[in-house]
Structures are given as structure tokens and as C-alpha cells.
Amino acid sequence: MAARHNSLHLTAQTVEARAQQAISRSVETSERLALLQEKTGCTLPFPFNAPATRAALERLPAQILRVTDALHQSLEPERRALRSGTLRGELFKTYLNALIAAEPKDHAYGSHADRIVDLLLETEEAAETQSLLHGTHHYTPTPVKLIPKLVEVGQLSQHDHVKDLGCGNGRLLALLHLMTGCRGSGVEILEGLSLQGEKLLRKNNLSSLSIRAGNALHENLSDATAVVLYAPFYASMFRTAVDGFEERASAGNFRIVLHGPMETFLDESPRFLRHPSSGAIRRYDAIGEQPLDLAQVCADLIPPANPIRPSSRKIRS
């Protein structure tokens, strides 16, 4: 199918075909780069998403630069469709699932689906230039292959306001919105990453999302219907985070969707009920406060008076 850089006719079939072609091009690109690096002795920065590594790439031989640019430019029709608002919702779900399905099983060159998504959104390379707060985890992007399951288990929709705690450069938040139409906000403790996230939202016209620099433990969750977590904390800090989750859970209509070995604290919480889902993604639903039944409270506090029983004796006339 010929690709036109000015427009892309979107159907489920065309986006599936484009996704399959993108993975094939990524595999071919990796193979060509491996040969070029072997010949030149140069090491390519990874990931080679164009905006972040431009300076490093320009120091490489022109052949390598042309190969990486070609893969980036081949995604221009999808990029235009995404930024104009047409490659979203069910069509974007189809595209993402097709990327995952077309992924080679050997993963000899890393995840091609992740590479394509980074090039499509033009994410910037995550560079941690400041010290992490004790108890927080180094930024690790949520693998693309997990995101459809996260949406499914979390039952995320356009009616949700999702909070991404430890959102990094905003990639997960952006993909959740593109798939579901949800509103969302992210908080990231590393200011450099949060600035990259703000830039990603602007360039992809994702105006219903926001990202700010801050401590996730101090985030106001009152307007959130769902929180997503991909291992932003170590166990000690997650225990503190659960206290905030429990406070929000008391109002009901709230759930937590997470990946990582952190569920123990939520299993022990009286405010959350674990959803019977299986696999790497888990969900916890808020139990919330039950409204007081004043009649029942009174009945429990005040024992009923002994009823007057009719006499069994006969009354003489």
C-alpha cells in the first residue's frame, strides 16, 4: 500500500496493515544498523528516537543517520492522523494491538512496538539529571504490550479521570487517552522528565491531559476515578501511598490499576477489594464508606420494649 505523507485513509484494515509494515521496517532497520555498526565500529544510542538523540546521531556516519531517519519519516502519515484527532479511540486500539501482534518472538533487537510508539509520539530519551527521592524507583516506561491489558482490566473509558503517579515522560498517559478518550493528569518527581512530558502532550495535541513536577505522595486524588501505577515506588514508600489511596477510597467510585510487586499492602487494606483478574496487571476497587442507616443504628442501640401479650385467662362476664 502506498503511503502518502499528507493524508491517511483510516479503516481498521489500513491501520492494521500500517502497523504490520511499521514492525517490518523496524526489524529491517535493526538488521541494517547492526551491519553498519559492525562495519563502522560505532555504537548507536538506544533508543534512537530522533528528537532526543539528534546530537549523538549526527556524530555517526551519514549512512546510519539516513537509516534511522527513514524509519522516523515512514510514520509521518500516522503521526499526522494522530495529531489531527483521527487516529484515536478504537482505531488507535486496533493500531496498537496490531503492533503488538506483529512483534517478532525472538526480540533480538528489543521491543519494536515500543520503538514505533516512541517514534510516532516523538518521545524524548529519558535522562535523569537529578537525584531520586529515597524510596522512589528509576523511571521505567510501561511496556507497550501491557497497555491494552491495563485498559481492559481497569475498564478505563472516556468517563474516567486517570492519575498516573510517577508518569515519567507521559507516554503511558498519552496512550491511555488515545485508546479510551479518558481525561488524565500525571505527576513526576523528576522535573526534567515532567518537562519532556509537557512537551509530548503539546506536540501531539493532547489538551485534555496535563503533567506537572511534584511528589506523588502529595497528589490530590479527589477528582480521580482511577490511578495507574507501574512500579514508581519501593515497598516502604508504597505503604505511605496506600494511606492516601484509602482516604480517597472513602468517597467510593475509585480504583487502582497496577503492575509490580506492591499488591500486598492493598490486599491488607479494608478500603479495597481485589478484582478477580489474572496476569501481570491487577485492579483494586474502593469499597468506600457505607451511608449510615439511622433506623438500624437506633435498633442496635435501643433494645425493643417487651411486647404486651394478650392474657390467656378468660374474662368473666
CB atoms closer than 10 angstroms to residue 41: 7
With a cut of 50, list the residues of the chain below it in pLDDT.
1-6, 46-52, 129, 134-135, 290-294, 297, 312-317
Residue 257, amino acid: V
CB atoms closer than 10 angstroms to residue 225: 19
The CA distance from 100 to 102, in Å, is 5
User: Domain segments of the chain: what residues?
Assistant: 12-121, 144-286
Q: Are 153 and 228 in contact (CB under 8 A)?
A: no
pLDDT of residue 266: 85
The CA distance from 228 to 275, in Å, is 15
Write down the pTM of the prediction. 0.80
pLDDT of residue 317: 44
pLDDT of residue 183: 97
Please write the tens of the pLDDT for every residue from 11-43. 999 999 999 999 999 998 888 877 877 776 666
3-state class of 71 per DSSP?
A: helix
- The alpha-carbon radius of gyration of the chain (Å, integer) is 26
CATH topology of domain 144-286: Rossmann fold (3.40.50)
The CA distance from 33 to 276, in Å, is 45
Residue 164, amino acid: D
3-state class of 171 per DSSP?
A: helix
Q: Beta strand pairing status for 226-230 and 161-165?
A: parallel
pLDDT of residue 125: 67
Helix ranges, 217-317 (H):
235-249, 263-267, 294-301
pLDDT of residue 158: 97
Residues 6+ apart with CB under 8 A from 117: 96, 99, 123, 144, 171, 175
Integer CA distances (angstroms), 237 to 49, 61, 265, in order: 32, 46, 11
Residue 241, amino acid: A
Cell (9 digits) for 159: 468517563
Cell (9 digits) for 161: 479521570
Residue from 299, 301, 257 nearest 277 by CA = 257
pLDDT of residue 294: 46
